[in-house]
Structure 1
Amino acid sequence: MTNLQHLLALHHTYPLSLNKLHILLHEARTINGLTWLSASDLAQILNIGKTKAIALKKAYSTWMEKDIENYYASLDIEPIPYTSADYPKELLQLPDAPVMLYVKGNRKLLTAEKKIACIGSRKATQYSVEAFTQLMPPLISAGYVIVSGLAKGADTLAHRSAIHYGGHTIAVLGHGLHTIYPKANEELALYMGQHQLLVTEYPPFMGPKKHYFPMRNRIISGLSDALVVTEAAMRSGTIITTELALEQGKDVFAVPGPITSAQSSGTNNLIKEGAIPIWNGYQINYLSRNS
């Protein structure tokens, strides 16, 4: 039985962040040690109810009986634990780093030297389309892998633009790999799962939930050297992602927009608060070389 099997069984039973896993391992010594921990002790360690701890122990044992690794291999899904050399070291710096990533596609993109997030409004206008024609070619030429979230609007434009200009792109999902969301991006997701990269911290069988998407944003910013925002309203998930990037010490670039556009109100405000104004990708390359 491999260590990966133990990790997968636990992750499918009760997904823990890395810091909480370390707390469990401090008491149980090994992941499989939770089988001999009493339900009371497990409940205290994980700060959960005793009934839930009993159910956790039972579910873990059930998952341990399944051949999870070979099942996912048959679907071209690769689990990458935090102990793997293929796990992005940048994510280990997060206070709530994921214990496991599930990937489909070109996993080498995860550890590419240069990655940059390109995000924006789900209601992106033609202005974002035009912005990417100025931003993307220099970034691709400089070897950046484009990271985004496969959502409608700017995320979709970022992925498609990177592919159009011959580059590589990573989609970070807010659900498991058995689900394609939004359905409008089914063709794009299938293509990326073969030729680019899909990545998620959620086991493949987990569907989308509203609170998963803010969680995945920390991975988008965590993977990336910097963040580029094309359009964003004042209150949006995009702005939350920029806050995460700033907390992680990343540069935030924002495309200034028309003062009459609600979809540029957030980006203009980001510039007011210190984000770097950007209108072509060569500026990012110049700043990166001289930082």
Structure 2
Amino acid sequence: MEQIKKICNFMSSNIAIFIIIFSVIAFFYPVGFAWATRYTTWFLGAAMFGMGLTIKTEDFKVVFTRPKDLCIGFLLQYTVMPATAFMLAKVFGLSADLALGVILVGCCPGGTASNVITYVAGGDVPLSVGMTIVSTILAPVCTPVLVYLLAGSWVEVSLITMMMSVVKVVLIPVLLGILIYRIFPKQINAVRELLPLISVIAIVMIISGIVGSNAQKILSCGALVMVVVAIHNVVGLCLGTGAAKLFKLDEKKVTAIGIEVGMQNSGLAISLATANFAANPLATLPGAIFSVWHNISGTLYAGIRRKYIK
């Protein structure tokens, strides 16, 4: 069991490497992975269920004991990244598909990877977890409304349909995971360290499927998307950090907020694009590339921020 835990920790800590490896394989052998796109919603649901299983009752305490910090992080989460996505889509003159994909990424809640990166950076982990929980639970309203407002000039967005999609693939699996943990805490704690493996496998399969399905199209627009995604992520990290400093928060909180703002649940962006915008197949591409990039940039950011935390 100890050996299995080490393997799980290694895979969770190096998810970016596994994403890159399987994405390259999928690019050259698309037939072996393209099938995964049919199960994107199920894979993401599994990842969110795994997240729910890891949430303890005490994790919710930060919601009630530190409302100021959470409100600052929440407002930055749902303003900085959506606004930056919209501006980048305009500045780079992106096609409807790519603009939609970038905006979807920007309007999603924080991802669970941000909690790991915050830990590596020596930041405020409880705050990071609290922000992820709050932004995820409120995503069924915030994400569809923001996409409706920002992407409406490119494509037709069905607000109610998107809300239902987020409820099905995010809210229900997370709440179900929390409920099962409440009922079987001892059993879940016994395998807690294995749970991140669920998310790793799910995200790797989602992205590999997208790459396999769009191998040829990646050749024509992959470089442009990479540039936009990198700028989007770096701007989120920098503005999130800068804004948190303006509120005179301590360095641990600044680090947690900066990471949470810059690192998105790009798996949700892919799932929403697949389920709600079948007529815009390239809308999944920004989310797939973001999943790889933000793990790399997040790790680099963590190394920089550790110097500021005593």
Normalised to the residue count of structure 1, the TM-score between the two structures is 0.27
Which has more radius of gyration? 1
More strand by share: 1
Give the structure, 1 or 2, with the largest relative contact order (CA under 8 Å, sep 6 or more): 2
